[in-house]
Amino acid sequence: MEGVDYLRDERSKAQFDVETMKVAWAGSPEAFLVCDRMAKLVANDPVFEKFSKPMLGRKELFKNTLRKTAHAWKLVNDLHLTEEEAKWLRHYIDEPSYTDLQWEMFVPALEGQGTEEQKKKWVPLAKTMQIIGTYAQTELGHGSNVQGLETTATFDRQSDEFVIHSPTLTSSKWWPGGLAKVTTHAIVYARLIIDGHFYGVHGFIVQLRSLEDHSPLPGITLGDIGMKFGHGTYNTMDNGVARFDRVRIPRDQMLMRVSQVTKEGKYMKSNVPRQLGYATMVSVRQTIVSDASKALSRAVCIATRYSAIRRQFGSRDGGPETQVLDYKTQQSRLFPLVASAFAFRFASDWLKLLYTDVKQRLEVNDFSTLPEVHACTAGFKSLTTAATAEGIEECRKLCGGHGYLISSGLPELFAFYVPACTYEGENVVMLLQVARFLVKTVSDLGNKQPVGTAAYLGRASLLVQKNCVVQTAEDWLNPIAILEAFEARAARMAVGCCQRLAEFKSPEEGFAELSSDLAEASLAHCQVIVVSTFIRRLQQDIPGRGVKQALEVLCNVYALFLLHKHQGDFLATGYLTPKQASLANDQLRTLYSKVRPNAIALVDSFNHTDHYLSSVLGRYDGNVYPKLYEAALKDPLNDSDIADGIHQYVQPILKQKLHSSKL
Amino acid sequence: MEGVDYLRDERSKAQFDVETMKVAWAGSPEAFLVCDRMAKLVANDPVFEKFSKPMLGRKELFKNTLRKTAHAWKLVNDLHLTEEEAKWLRHYIDEPSYTDLQWEMFVPALEGQGTEEQKKKWVPLAKTMQIIGTYAQTELGHGSNVQGLETTATFDRQSDEFVIHSPTLTSSKWWPGGLAKVTTHAIVYARLIIDGHFYGVHGFIVQLRSLEDHSPLPGITLGDIGMKFGHGTYNTMDNGVARFDRVRIPRDQMLMRVSQVTKEGKYMKSNVPRQLGYATMVSVRQTIVSDASKALSRAVCIATRYSAIRRQFGSRDGGPETQVLDYKTQQSRLFPLVASAFAFRFASDWLKLLYTDVKQRLEVNDFSTLPEVHACTAGFKSLTTAATAEGIEECRKLCGGHGYLISSGLPELFAFYVPACTYEGENVVMLLQVARFLVKTVSDLGNKQPVGTAAYLGRASLLVQKNCVVQTAEDWLNPIAILEAFEARAARMAVGCCQRLAEFKSPEEGFAELSSDLAEASLAHCQVIVVSTFIRRLQQDIPGRGVKQALEVLCNVYALFLLHKHQGDFLATGYLTPKQASLANDQLRTLYSKVRPNAIALVDSFNHTDHYLSSVLGRYDGNVYPKLYEAALKDPLNDSDIADGIHQYVQPILKQKLHSSKL
Ligand SMILES: Cc1cc2nc3c(=O)[nH]c(=O)nc-3n(C[C@H](O)[C@H](O)[C@H](O)COP(=O)(O)OP(=O)(O)OC[C@H]3O[C@@H](n4cnc5c(N)ncnc54)[C@H](O)[C@@H]3O)c2cc1C
Ligand SMILES: Cc1cc2nc3c(=O)[nH]c(=O)nc-3n(C[C@H](O)[C@H](O)[C@H](O)COP(=O)(O)OP(=O)(O)OC[C@H]3O[C@@H](n4cnc5c(N)ncnc54)[C@H](O)[C@@H]3O)c2cc1C
């Protein structure tokens, strides 16, 4: 029935104040208000309706998103939204669109890599959308290895221009969002060549289309790279291919903040340190970690609500069956993911602080923390996106058969999310970068005290000797015990790898051979950081009835779940005894019982609108079954009782007249 | 370039005879020939073309598949194909269609649950497709718990009929394939009610549509349940919903092989043992395991070939970069999946033998092995489908960004495959059934010697005491050492769970509380079976140069990969020392180097046609890049330079005229 809250009983069980938890999730009262307002703005505007998406073909999907994007931009202007508000508006519209590239890649690249003069010219054009840009780095043949890009930018001293050229098929730019049909400009990354010498890969502002009639400029071939995973998802966006046939751009369209080419064709480093880019990198990765927490929070919200509605087995004396949320197997798959969503959320909050810290240091030319920051953010990126992608699919499975319907929201969420494991640094490549840092840190331990998130490695010699002192399941609730376990395991893995590396002829050979183990050590290191960030967050004051307590339970769930999952590492390194590992698992089971009464309230704390979730299974009111039915009936196949094709292809079979039919 | 084999060098490295390996994979020379012929028949017939699928809307997808299905049935008749051949034909067409239900569910249910008389009447109609049937068990409210189904079949003595009725919304049949638009009949599972008494859930043959004009019969409401995961995949099929409003069927349309209702309304068990259904169950699960191996073989074939073509980093002196297949991280993610495909393949071959064995036993009323068979097949189902679903997604990630394109074949393979984790027994529910068996087996150890795949538990008391004797990495190549490790770990986990169960007030409470640990113990048990099946297969004669050796390497990879992944179990149960686990990991790395030269040849052995793979990345000739480009250009968005919507929704933004535009 409409208007009834089928989850009311569940909500009444909550042992904490949901409204304050919403603020804790959002980060601050102000952040909560902005998000809440933007979410509702989107949810209540019919232009942003998205339930009809599954019925649209590629062209319609694309056009539909163009319309939403234009409408959104109109709102930004009409309502004088701040950049922060506009960002949330885009977020809640929940459709990949060219503006993602404009605001998250194009503008930041101009701001980060352009000179003052360049910024003055280009940034206002971009910010008012008089030009629309994309970030054209990846090519058909190269993604991860940016130094292998083949597009060339050859300086022509005569005309004071660069000639942008695609010398091979594999040099075609491939993937950039909006590139196919929408963007008028791109920052094209290309090998700079002056007088036959190669000066590394640089970014160039290239105009792609006429601002008058939108047609591609001479020498530029643009196209769409075709359908992607899922139905809607990235198919709303025109990821594109571009080929350049000796396209000329003025010299001042090379982004010259860090290196310059003079009129005379001299290549010069400017006095701006190369490391400035790190701040942007931290900011981009902060967004990725924040996005991970959001995507995972959506998935667990759907799966948790549906698991409270879904009943299967266990009816006694004709009473209702058991809510599947009450099964320990369901809890052990679901609750760690709820906890992960919070863990990633707090990790992303912390990355914001890190960003400020890095920016301040860069301003005074303090580069000392950069290697550590680089490793930590790369690791965060890899850990959170991998866990989120896996977690979304687990949530889909937790919903049984109905999770397979598009109307559950989960298939499309998965298809939309998974490329995060690949773009902005392929996850395994990222872990290997962390590994390089770890190896270096451990090798330098004699000379250099590691800082920040790697500081614990400074105690490595202690950590490889200490043993866990836990004696009861309760002892595992102690954050100090937890943290030491994670640190000891990570330190032992890192040190262990380094010792084995020393047995190889060359360090490079060893690194290659042991790379898989090194990646595991890196993951262990990243888990230290996520766990410790969660723990530190809880050392702060958190207001609201029961809010802190509920979060403490989640923090312990997160840590002990990881401990159980990676039990092999903890035992292999000898820090834990099997008995201690088993106590941790016992405690974990107890913790699940503590999460259970709060489960619905916890996912309510994300403050997700039904529009944003776009899931029949995850509806706030739990009115699942009638709405599943309603959604089904909208499928075009239900337009008629006898579907197109039946007369032609089925009836001849039934009537045994197939031989004489034309197919 | 067309006609060039870009993988020729790789193929020339193979250390075994690919043609003989193809036979080993197929199971026998005869099986190979049938598969090969059917695969080519499909690949060469333009009707079965599937590259245009991404461009089709829901109705077109559905119609297109109807056409293919009719064409296939015509071929079956024209070419006088055997049932085996027809099955492979359907398989290679590679699109979910109503005939899957007809042949894999409807006909087997008639044959397995119908009386001789019923079979005589219905089976020929079905086999000649004069009627088209589906299997209508699942309802909106119930899947896993079949006893909870709500549809009623009330006996009306007066008219000698059953009245089929959907009393609630949640009793609507929901999911059956072909139900929405195509099938004329269904086996509807419903609660049998006679004189107000409930006699359990039974199957009833219900006609759904007129055989004349295909319209739904009075009292029956049919519809499609809407779009499912992915673009094409299951959207080619009309999974449906059905509601019955007091629909009458003659009494003799209850499937009465095992239980009957007489004219007088008496409910009677026939003298046919209820256990007969087990044979069908084994056969269905054999197909599922076989399908798992096929799906995984497709994914690893694509990822392996592409990984040999893809190069990234590591160029020396301007030479070519490293093939990503040479990175140890890539190998450690990919090669265990190649090995798993073979492991599942041999597991499914063995299940065929088990099927014959079960059938023979049932004929002489020997039910002694059934509990073990039930547990073993449930476990196989869960283990292989879960690993395959995960493996396909891993393969997609292994292809980097390009794996996200539909043209890579992997997104749709994933979306198509994942429901196997849910249908035919939800995977976690299956593992819990295995757990019940394990608990019972261990508790009965004093009285009853376990048989078949559980026989090793008979040695439990020994296995919980023994310790691993491995001393060198080479020792891990010994199948006896491997098998004992898996048996010891599984036995210890099962025994450990049973000991802890005894601490609970009631066994049921304990089972519920420990269910997550029990599921882990079940998985360990299933791994014993898969590993031992692989090992036993290799004890047979396997002809062909190097074929057996190559398979031995894979068998070891499979086992040691599992050992590393579940290292925690092995260490926690105390059977292995950390040193021994580490030696296993060292051996695993060595094994990867042995797989490497054979990698392409191994995936060639699956004998997959390019049509079947439908992947640009997995093309036999490795001509990836030009073909990616070609495939992209076919997207409808590339029909025009200036896409529909640009003038309306983008130009007003660029020209700053949004305020005056109508959106
Ligand atoms: C939806 C989406 C949107 C995108 N948008 C943009 C965009 O707007 N602009 C843009 O420029 N690009 C974009 N990209 C491209 C993206 O940045 C690349 O796909 C990404 O950088 C990964 O590179 P790759 O595809 O070359 O993968 P590859 O590097 O080819 O990866 C293939 C495999 O090789 C392995 N591998 C690679 N190098 C190593 C190594 N050194 N050691 C061990 N293993 C290795 C990887 O782990 C992976 O398993 C987008 C991609 C997607 C999917
Ligand atoms: C593509 C597709 C095709 C299908 N085709 C058909 C068809 O042709 N005919 C037909 O009849 N059906 C069909 N089905 C339905 C399918 O058989 C069911 O979806 C399946 O049986 C799972 O049941 P469920 O959906 O009720 O899941 P649920 O049982 O509701 O599962 C939800 C969650 O509850 C958990 N759970 C349930 N019971 C327990 C328990 N006792 N202990 C612990 N956890 C539990 C599960 O582990 C899962 O995480 C199809 C489904 C799909 C996806």
Looking at residue B1, its pLDDT comes to: 60
Residues 6 or more apart in contact with residue B353 via CB below 8 angstroms: none
Please tell me the distance between residue B395's alpha carbon and the centre of ligand 1 in angstroms. 14
Q: If you search the block for the tokens 């660029």, which residue do you land on?
A: B654
* Region B86-114 average pLDDT: 97
d(C-alpha B643, C-alpha B654), whole Å = 16
Cβ B296 vs Cβ B343: under 8 Å: no
A274 has pLDDT over 90: no
CA distance, residue B541 to nearest chain A CA (Å)? 35
CB of residue B137 inside a 6 A radius of ligand 2: yes
A85 catalytic? Reply is: no
Q: What is the largest CA-CA distance in chain B?
A: 92
Judging by DSSP bridges, how do beta strands A240-244 and A173-174 pair with one another? antiparallel
Fold equal for A132-272 and A278-604:
no
- Best of B629, B648, B657 to substitute, by most chain A Cβ atoms within 10 angstroms, is B629
Cβ A603 vs Cβ A296: under 8 Å: no
Query: C-alpha dihedral over A407, A607, A66, A114, to 10 degrees?
Result: -140
Q: Given an 8 Å threshold on Cβ–Cβ distance, is B224 in contact with A635?
A: yes
B362 has pLDDT over 70: yes
What pLDDT band is residue A9 in, cutting at 50, 70 and 90?
very high
What would the CATH number be for the domain defined by A132-272?
2.40.110.10
Cβ A529 vs Cβ A377: under 8 Å: no
What would the CATH number be for the domain defined by B133-269?
2.40.110.10
CB < 8 Å to A416, chain B: none
Q: Is B493 on the interface with A (CB under 8 A)?
A: no
Which atom belonging to ligand 1 lies closest to the Cα atom of A177? 8
Q: Given an 8 Å threshold on Cβ–Cβ distance, is B407 in contact with A227?
A: yes
* Region A168-179 average pLDDT: 98
pLDDT tens readout for residues B67-84:
999 999 999 999 999 999
Secondary structure string (H, E, C) spanning A250-268: EHHHECCCCEEECCCCCEE
Please tell me the distance between residue B407's alpha carbon and the centre of ligand 1 in angstroms. 16
B262 exposure class (CB count in 10 Å sphere: 0-12, 13-18, 19+): middle
CB < 8 Å to B635, chain A: 58, 224-227
Which residues of B are annotated binding-site positions for FAD?
Answer: 138, 177
Q: Which residues are paired to B219 by β-bridges?
A: none
Looking at residue A557, its pLDDT comes to: 98
What pLDDT band is residue A575 in, cutting at 50, 70 and 90?
very high
pLDDT tens readout for residues A492-503:
999 999 999 999
Q: Given an 8 Å threshold on Cβ–Cβ distance, is B405 in contact with A228?
A: yes
Please tell me the distance between residue A398's alpha carbon and the centre of ligand 2 in angstroms. 10
* Region A278-293 average pLDDT: 94
* Region B558-569 average pLDDT: 98
Going by CA atoms, what residue is nearest to atom 29 of ligand 1? A144
What pLDDT band is residue A318 in, cutting at 50, 70 and 90?
confident
pLDDT tens readout for residues B478-523:
999 999 999 999 999 999 999 999 999 999 999 999 999 999 999 9
Q: Which of A620, A660, A655 is nearest to A11 (CA)?
A: A620
B2 has pLDDT over 80: no
pLDDT tens readout for residues A152-172:
999 999 999 999 999 999 999
Looking at residue A663, its pLDDT comes to: 83
* Region B219-228 average pLDDT: 98
CB of residue B239 inside a 6 A radius of ligand 2: yes
Nearest CA in chain B to A430: B329
- List A residues 322-341 in contact with B (Cβ-Cβ < 8 A): 327-333
In chain A, what are the helix, strand and coil shares in percent, each to the nearest 5? 60, 10, 30
Mean per-residue pLDDT over chain B, rounded: 96
Looking at residue A1, its pLDDT comes to: 60
B372, B424, B484, B552: the active-site residue: B424
Percent of chain B with pLDDT over 90: 95
d(C-alpha A98, C-alpha A105), whole Å = 10
pLDDT tens readout for residues B573-622:
999 999 999 999 999 999 999 999 999 999 999 999 999 999 999 999 99
Q: Is A455 on the interface with B (CB under 8 A)?
A: no
| A148, A404, A519 member nearest B419 (Cβ) | A404
Please state, as a whole number, how many other Cβ atoms lie within 10 Å of the Cβ of residue A496: 18
d(C-alpha B521, C-alpha B533), whole Å = 19
A475 has pLDDT over 90: yes
Please state, as a whole number, how many other Cβ atoms lie within 10 Å of the Cβ of residue A378: 25
* Region B253-258 average pLDDT: 96
Could you give the residue ranges of the DSSP H alpha helices within B400-453? 410-417, 427-443
How remote is the C-alpha of A333 from its chain's centroid? 21
Task: Spell B183-214 as b/e; 16+ CB within 10 A means b.
Answer: bbbbbbbbbbbbeeeeeebbbbbbbbbeeeeb
What pLDDT band is residue B357 in, cutting at 50, 70 and 90?
very high
pLDDT tens readout for residues B334-354:
999 999 999 999 999 999 999
Determine whether the annotation assigns residue A177 to a binding site.
yes
Ligand nearest the Cα of residue A411 is 2
Nearest CA in chain A to B223: A638
Helix crossing, A427-443 with A479-501: angle to 10°?
A: 80
* Region A367-381 average pLDDT: 95
What pLDDT band is residue B23 in, cutting at 50, 70 and 90?
very high
Residues 6 or more apart in contact with residue A387 via CB below 8 angstroms: A292, A296, A340, A344
| B327, B411, B647 member nearest A229 (Cβ) | B411
Please tell me the distance between residue B432's alpha carbon and the centre of ligand 2 in angstroms. 14
pLDDT tens readout for residues B268-301:
999 888 888 888 899 999 999 999 999 999 999 9
Secondary structure string (H, E, C) spanning A158-218: CCCEEEEECCCHHHCEECCCCCCCCCCEEEEEEEEEECCEEEEEEEEEEECECCCCCCECC
Please tell me the distance between residue B424's alpha carbon and the centre of ligand 2 in angstroms. 8
With a Cβ cut-off of 6 Å, ligand 1 is lined by A 101, 134-138, 142-144, 175-177, 234, 239, 419, 422-423, 426, 428-429, 432; B 310, 312-313, 324, 327, 329-330, 398, 400-402, 404
d(C-alpha B155, C-alpha B161), whole Å = 6
Looking at residue B275, its pLDDT comes to: 86
- Domain A278-604 of CATH type 3.30.70.260: no
Which residues of B are annotated binding-site positions?
Answer: 138, 177
Q: For chain B, which residues make up each domain, given as ranges?
A: 133-269
A205 has pLDDT over 90: yes
| A145, A328, A401 member nearest B143 (Cβ) | A401
Q: Is B590 on the interface with A (CB under 8 A)?
A: no
Looking at residue B292, its pLDDT comes to: 98
pLDDT tens readout for residues A410-443:
999 999 999 999 999 999 999 999 999 999 999 9
Looking at residue A371, its pLDDT comes to: 93
Q: Given an 8 Å threshold on Cβ–Cβ distance, is B184 in contact with A566?
A: no
Q: Given an 8 Å threshold on Cβ–Cβ distance, is B132 in contact with A567?
A: no
pLDDT tens readout for residues B132-190:
999 999 999 999 999 999 999 999 999 999 999 999 999 999 999 999 999 999 999 99
What pLDDT band is residue B54 in, cutting at 50, 70 and 90?
confident
Q: Given an 8 Å threshold on Cβ–Cβ distance, is A626 in contact with B169?
A: yes
- Best of A47, A390, A571, A582 to substitute, by most chain B Cβ atoms within 10 angstroms, is A571
Mean per-residue pLDDT over chain A, rounded: 96
What pLDDT band is residue A633 in, cutting at 50, 70 and 90?
very high
Q: Is A642 on the interface with B (CB under 8 A)?
A: yes
* Region B437-441 average pLDDT: 98
pLDDT tens readout for residues A35-83:
999 999 999 999 999 988 988 999 999 999 999 999 999 999 999 999 9
